[in-house]
Chains A and B, each alone.
Chain A
Amino acid sequence: DAGVIQSPRHEVTEMGQEVTLRCKPISGHNSLFWYRQTMMRGLELLIYFNNNVPIDDSGMPEDRFSAKMPNASFSTLKIQPSEPRDSAVYFCASSQKTAFGYTFGSGTRLTVV
């Protein structure tokens, strides 16, 4: 298994542009999570899906952020318009059951200039 696959690994964009981050979870995992890592807040949960359905999006910072999971093997996190304060590392993770822990992707480092 290739694990959780995120793309791109790095993204540099100008303020005001739309950014789309992509994630392919591990096959058979029914939960998918988007996290953002910053120095101040650590790993912050943005949204999670269970069986492709959004369950909790209370961590999404603003309406500029949106996430979709059109099928069991793909999810996107979109920021439109992007702002410099969105610069962070964004992680996607998937799991079968929390008790076994999540498997994280390698992350996307986003820089908004």
Chain B
Amino acid sequence: DQQVKQNSPSLSVQEGRISILNCDYTNSMFDYFLWYKKYPAEGPTFLISISSIKDKNEDGRFTVFLNKSAKHLSLHIVPSQPGDSAVYFCAASSHNTDKLIFGTGTRLQVFP
């Protein structure tokens, strides 16, 4: 049973435009959410996170939005750059555990 779902396996965006990556979760106990970025032949690296007490967190070109009622979060990248081309994983955890549950990932390609 996939508790964290990324329904879009891939996304292609033109340089300079906005990239929106989506993630849905089913477990209402999740209270912390993270996005990781992965380049080929490397491990995932932490990008941005959000606590369930917030609905938005911004870090430079990256913003994460959380809609708790819909159990949905999204990552916005503005403006998109070719170097953003990677696989993006959504992850979730609850306060009473150390483990992160990851989604299946979305491959973002930013073209010139």
- Contact partner of A101 among B6, B46, B99, B103, CB < 8 A? B46
Q: How many chain A residues touch B (Cβ–Cβ < 8 Å)?
A: 29
Among candidates B32, B43, B97, B103, residue contacting A105 with C-beta atoms closer than 8 Å: B43
B-side interface mostly = loop
Q: Please, which residues of chain A bring their CB within 8 A of the CB of B46?
A: 100-103
Decide yes or no whether B63 CB sits under 8 A from chain A: no
Number of residue pairs across A and B with beta carbons under 8 Å? 66
Q: Which residues of B contact A44 (CB under 8 A)?
A: 102
Asked if A43 is at the interface (CB within 8 A of a chain B CB), the reply is yes
Contact flags (1/0) for A13-51 with B, using CB distance below 8 Å?
A: 000000000000000000101010001111111001010
Query: When chains A and B are docked, how far (Å) is the Cα of A31 from the Cα of B93?
Result: 14
The reply to whether the CB of B66 lies closer than 8 angstroms to some CB of chain A is no
A70-113 Cβ-contact flags toward B at 8 Å (1 or 0)? 00000000000000000000010101011111111111000000
| Cα distance, A98 to B46, chains bound together (Å) | 11
A-side contacts of B97, CB under 8 Å: 56, 98
